[in-house]
Chains A and B, each alone.
Chain A
Amino acid sequence: MFHCKVLLCIAILSLISSSLGTVCSNPQIEAKTYTTQDGTVITNVAFVARFSLKCDNGARELPLYAEINGKTFPVVISGKEHYQVSWVEDVKTAKSGSHDVNLFDEEGYAQLRKAIRNNEDVSAVKPLSQIQVPHPGTYQGPWLNSEFLAVVLSLIVWYSAFSTKSKLLS
């Protein structure tokens, strides 16, 4: 009898813990994003979104997945409540503007993978939450070299002076 009770307790506890571990009710997300904007020293543009996730049911260290432009990434965990999504793009192909990161829990990720596999509309799968990573653009050096500008200016000055001189002499 006692053994049965213990087993029942264990079963209930494991059920509760598994449901706590994978489902997040009413997620509240606070995100901090960082992108590299100076493209002169780097070979790739890095997009980093770190966020903290608070759930009403107290779920922590959830396995989350992110979807960015049709690609899926696992979300890494740091500490108890902090998460990070990060990726790199080539300096030439990295687009400026807002990059949407859709976050999915395990259930949502399974649905997303199913949708991708069956070539269905991915946007139909409702994400747990969404983060926007703004990227103002990558600076790749001045579009006009100052040396070039100086040479052009000096040529203009020289030409105007020379043409005036030849006009006076003729």
Chain B
Amino acid sequence: MLRRFLFLLSTLIVAIQSAEENDGGARLLVSKQILNRYIVEDMDVIVKYTLYNIGSSPAVNVVLKDNSFSEEVFKVVGGFLNIKIPRIPPATNVTHITVLKPIVDGFYNFTAAEVSYQNSDESAKVQVAISSEPGEGYIVAFRDYDKKFSPHLLDWCAFAIMTFPSLAIPFFLWWSSKSKYDSFSKPKKSTKDN
């Protein structure tokens, strides 16, 4: 029932560049990863955006917008989904983390985030890029997850209580008869000793 979803191996998608792009200017590679083993309803989902500038000049006014998380399925618990990075120098990584919690279960298609930036300080042209897509994932219902992975302490306690009478009643019977015979034998012993 529970399927494994490893999203760590998400591929980098090269920022969309126009064909006649010259060598100068910033070029951003944007990856979007989900750092989870399982995606479970009402538990943290970590989304990591990595922006890397492979160009020769800094990317300016980088705006990252992620509208792929619908409000009916996810609520944001930490971080922002729409951000701006004033400047990414060449050969520099910038990471951004957002933590979400799914509120419903079922399949969900994790699509790309959008990035727009100016490819140098002088350039007024806005470059648009999209990130990699983590792909489709399954949000496991919390009940199913709990059934499989919780320590089941309550269940074991119930089991212990249920098995207790079958162990305790024979023991109690034996104990009462033993103490009865002990009380018979003790006076004898005491008379013998005397």
Contact = CB atoms under 8 A, between A and B. Distances in A.
Contacts of A84: 79-80, 83, 96
A70 B128 CA distance: 33
A145 B38 CA distance: 21
Contacts of B94: 73-74, 76
Interface stretch (B21-29, B104-112, B116-124, B151-159): B151-159
A146 interface: yes
A40 B88 CA distance: 34
B153 A34 contact: no
A77 B95 CA distance: 13
A113 B74 CA distance: 39
B193 to A, nearest CB: 24
A92 to B, nearest CB: 14
Contacts of A88: 35, 46, 48, 95, 97
B82 A78 contact: yes
A11 interface: no
Interface in B78-134: 78-80, 82-88, 94-99
Interface residues of B, number: 39
Interface residues of A, number: 36
A40 B153 CA distance: 17
A142 B150 CA distance: 9
B149 A149 contact: no
A29 interface: no
B35 A44 contact: yes
Nearest to B6: A43
A115 B146 CA distance: 50
A157 interface: yes
Contacts of A41: 36-40, 43-44, 145
A86 interface: yes
B162 interface: no
A16 interface: no
A141 B160 CA distance: 22
A96 B160 CA distance: 36
B8 interface: yes
Contact of B97 (A40, A43, A78, A87): A87
Nearest to B79: A48
Contacts of B64: 76
Interface of A: 33-36, 38, 40-44, 46-48, 50, 61, 63, 73-74, 76-78, 82, 84, 86-88, 141-142, 145-147, 149-150, 153, 157, 161
16 contacts: A34-B78, A36-B44, A38-B44, A40-B149, A41-B40, A41-B44, A44-B35, A46-B44, A46-B48, A61-B86, A63-B86, A74-B86, A77-B83, A77-B86, A88-B95, A147-B156
Q: Which 8 A-B pairs have the closest CB atoms?
A: A34-B78, A86-B97, A48-B78, A78-B80, A63-B86, A76-B83, A36-B44, A77-B84
